[in-house]
């Protein structure tokens, strides 16, 4: 873990997409898995399913700053991995 891609967000917004490693990722929904989530209690933590521009599905760990920094809120993409079994239904 430790990619640390920071994105400025609105107060009630969540991350919708991002770019990394030459790919564009679109967040589709929350994942049912929670294994990428760390034990840091100071942030709002989410694990998402995402569709990338390479046509593959990925699981993405994102945490949201629970406090504002200079009046801004941030989302941080911290880990990405290929979703081996696709979406859980």
Residue 89 lies in a domain: no
Residue 88 lies in a domain: no
Domain of 25 in residue numbering reads as 5-82
> Distance (Å, rounded) from C-alpha 33 to C-alpha 88?
9
Give the pLDDT band (50/70/90) at residue 18.
Answer: very high
Answer whether 0.85 is exceeded by the pTM: no
Tally of structural domains, the chain = 1
CA atoms within 13 A on the CB side of 42: 3
Residue 10 lies in a domain: yes
Read off the pLDDT of residues 54-80 as tens digits, 9 standing for 90 and up.
999 999 999 888 777 787 889 999 999
Residue 87 lies in a domain: no
Residue 39 lies in a domain: yes
């Amino acid at each position: 873990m430790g990619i640390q891609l920071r994105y400025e967000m609105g107060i009630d917004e969540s991350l919708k997409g991002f770019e990394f490693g030459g790919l564009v990722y679109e967040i589709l929904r929350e994942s049912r898995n929670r294994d990428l989530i760390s034990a840091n209690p100071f942030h709002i933590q989410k694990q998402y399913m995402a569709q990338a521009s390479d046509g593959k599905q990925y699981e993405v760990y994102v945490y949201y700053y629970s406090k504002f920094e200079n009046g801004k809120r941030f989302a941080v993409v911290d880990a990405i991995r290929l979703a081996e079994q696709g979406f859980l239904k």
